[in-house]
Amino acid sequence: MTISDAKIQFLEYVEIEKGRSPLTSRNYDHYLTTFFEQMNIKNPSDITESVIRQFRIQLNRAPGAKTKGQGGNTMKKTTQNYYMIALRSFLKYMKKINVQTVSPDVIELAKVGARDLDLISKDELDRLLKAPDISKAKSDEAIIKVLRDKALLELFFSTGLRLAELCSLNRDLDLSRDEFSIRGKGDKVRVVFLSPEAKENLRAYLKARKDMEEAMFVNIARNKIAARLTPRSIERIVKEYAIKAGISKKVTPHVLRHSFATDLLSNGADIRSVQMMLGHANIATTQVYTHVTDAQLREVHKKFHSKR
């Protein structure tokens, strides 16, 4: 089996049998193709521990965005790990179908520092949610746009939806209920919950809509056919209201997802429940948010320790 045939078979397995998204498949294709071409791999048996080590050295010396603590414009450790994760998955598949190559166990991921979260304060969040101001809207289109934007921001914070998940919503959402199902990463379905504020603002926005487009969030413009908002458009909307709210930090839909998670944890939610609501496959992904409980732990320590 040539390495090209093996790669095609592996990518089909990833997308069809493992249920990964086409984007994941494309990323794996890029990482593996880079490895095969740079290391002149012709057959799976050409992959050895020595070859993998040489490739890791090349990655570590490759140019990339300047990263704090790495002393230069080199590829970030997290990016290097993406190549290794793709290669390890490929090797596991080769082992599964009994093709002779190196064991996937020889690959260890580079240690990376704790991830810094882009967060906004509670006060900044409150200002952001209040930023869409209908009193300044002068036309019907402007009023609907403000209602849309208010509903969009409230829904992000209420549900913790990913950007792509919010984009995929249709207007037939049952607002008589406090929850709905969403199909997220890996084609997995989870339940998310609507706050009273999110429901109220969604109802007001949908009531004002005059178009027949099935999408929940659409562009609002005079003499234009309504069409589903793109992820880029929603990012611009969030940025626009962050500026209006006087927030100097970069605010994105993912920052609102962070705010959703940290708000739950700081108010006593357990990590497993937050994991389920965010749709994380691995709890280690959710544990990046547990720093928000540090202040609470400090208060517990002061209250209950050294009561001698």
Residue 190 appears among annotated catalytic residues: no
Instruction: Return the DSSP state at 170.
Output: B
Q: Give residue for tokens 């746009």.
A: 145
Which of 31, 93, 205, 289 is catalytic? The answer is: 289
Q: Could you tell me if 39 and 55 are in contact, meaning their C-beta atoms sit under 8 angstroms apart?
A: yes
Q: Which residues are within 8 A (CB) of 251 and not within 5 positions of it... i.e. 6 or more apart?
A: 118, 120, 128, 238, 239, 242
Residue 7 appears among annotated catalytic residues: no
Residue 308 appears among annotated catalytic residues: no
Neighbouring C-beta atoms of residue 74, cutoff 10 Å: 18
Closest CA to 7 of 97, 74, 125, 105: 97
Residue 254 appears among annotated catalytic residues: yes
Which of 185, 190, 209, 244 is catalytic? The answer is: 185
Structure tokens at 114: 């704790």
Which of 88, 145, 257, 258 is catalytic? The answer is: 257
Q: Which residues are within 8 A (CB) of 260 and not within 5 positions of it... i.e. 6 or more apart?
A: 156, 157, 158, 159, 160, 277, 278
Neighbouring C-beta atoms of residue 212, cutoff 10 Å: 8
Distance CA 193, CA 31 (A): 37
Distance CA 278, CA 161 (A): 7
Q: Which residues are within 8 A (CB) of 65 and not within 5 positions of it... i.e. 6 or more apart?
A: 73, 76
3-state class percentages of the chain: helix first, strand second, coil last, to nearest 5: 60, 5, 35
Instruction: Return the DSSP state at 192.
Output: E
Which of 7, 150, 162, 258 is catalytic? The answer is: 162
**Which contacts (CB < 8 Å, 24+ apart) does range 217-220 have?**
217/148, 217/151, 217/152, 217/166, 217/167, 217/169, 218/148, 220/141, 220/144, 220/145, 220/148
**Active site members:** 162, 185, 254, 257, 280, 289
